[in-house]
Amino acid sequence: MRNLVIGILVGLVLGLWFGVNLGRDRPIYANPFKEPTVAERAKAGAEALVEKGREVLRHD
């Protein structure tokens, strides 16, 4: 019973770790608590801006 509880806790922690990284489009083993660098934030913002521009141009 003890091994089952330990296994569930380890699985929960690892699943949360990997899930946060996948949700943020980062490598699976990256530190999920590390704040993105300025370059990463700028790249994400530029990508979103380009995608929004494409969307606007397609609707006209």
**Residues in CB range of 30: below 8 A, 6 or more apart:** 21
pTM of full prediction above 0.85: no
Instruction: Give the number of domains in the chain.
Output: 1
Q: Is the pLDDT of residue 52 over 80?
A: yes
Q: Tell me the average pLDDT across 5-22.
A: 95
Q: Which domain holds residue 19?
A: 2-59
Q: For residue 44, count other CB atoms closer than 10 A to its CB.
A: 13
Write the pLDDT tens digit of every residue in 18-48: 999 999 888 888 888 888 889 988 998 999 9
